[in-house]
């Protein structure tokens, strides 16, 4: 199966309920596979590929907006905007706690850049990537989540010498991860036998 996936790899691929996103759940909705990227004016790109299957939820309590809405680009996950009514809440009631096996949850993914970063710098990107999870999923990083994000570099572009640019790269990484989570949930497709509705079904209902 792994060899087949490698041979069929392409820059164009399905997201939502495809690949690692098939069967994923995200709080009160279906989860999914999402991707996003940012390209810098001076050159260089950072991208994220995330399979969102967390305990927490990607939608705000009103079920009409994504937590990641402030970072959305070009209505990539529906353009529902930012919620104007977020009551104080720990978010547990909109999570999967109590609904599934405690080991049936995880958000995994990879972030990649063409900047030639060393191991320590890639670790910083991976740390920033987890901030992206916290921006898109609430509650996040719970004891029953198995969150794991890998950071890789193609090494094609000399890394920025300016520490401000390196910091900007970390910030962009968190943005990309948040957007990828929301895109994965937004593009999930309804199927017979679904345990949860799609994000679109809830927000458009």
**CA nearest neighbour of 177 among 115, 80, 109, 117:** 109
Report pLDDT for 99. Answer: 61
Report pLDDT for 159. Answer: 81
- Determine the CATH number of domain 33-77+91-185: 3.60.70.12
DSSP conformational letter for 16 = B
Report pLDDT for 35. Answer: 98
With a CB cutoff of 8 Å and minimum separation 6, the contacts of 82 are: 65, 69, 70
Instruction: Answer whether residue 77 shows pLDDT above 90.
Output: yes
Report pLDDT for 73. Answer: 97
Report pLDDT for 204. Answer: 87
Q: Which of residues 51 and 91 earns the better pLDDT score? A: 51
Q: Which of residues 205 and 74 earns the better pLDDT score? A: 74
Whole-angstrom CA distances from 198 to 17, 80, 118, 153, 188 are 10, 15, 39, 33, 6
Each residue's pLDDT tens digit, 22-65? 999 998 899 999 999 999 987 899 999 999 999 999 999 988 99
Judge if pTM exceeds 0.85. yes
């Amino acid at each position: 199966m792994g060899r087949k996936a490698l041979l069929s790899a392409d820059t164009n691929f399905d997201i939502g309920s495809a690949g690692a996103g098939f069967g994923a759940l995200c709080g009160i909705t279906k989860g999914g596979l999402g991707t996003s990227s940012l390209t810098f004016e001076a050159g260089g790109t950072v991208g994220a590929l995330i399979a969102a299957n967390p305990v927490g939820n990607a939608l705000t309590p009103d079920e009409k907006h994504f937590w990641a809405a402030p970072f959305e680009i070009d209505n990539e996950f529906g353009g529902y905007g930012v919620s104007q009514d977020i009551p104080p809440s720990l978010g547990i009631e909109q999570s999967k706690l109590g609904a599934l096996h405690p080991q049936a949850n995880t958000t995994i993914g990879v972030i990649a850049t063409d900047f030639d970063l060393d191991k320590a710098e890639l670790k910083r990107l991976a740390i920033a990537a987890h901030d992206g999870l916290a921006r898109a999923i609430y509650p996040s990083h719970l004891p029953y989540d198995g969150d794991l994000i890998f950071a890789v570099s193609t090494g094609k572009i000399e890394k920025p010498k300016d520490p401000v640019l390196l910091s900007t790269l970390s910030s962009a990484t968190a943005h990309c991860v948040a957007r990828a989570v929301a895109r994965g949930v937004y593009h999930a497709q309804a199927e017979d036998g679904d345990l949860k509705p799609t994000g679109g079904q809830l927000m458009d209902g």
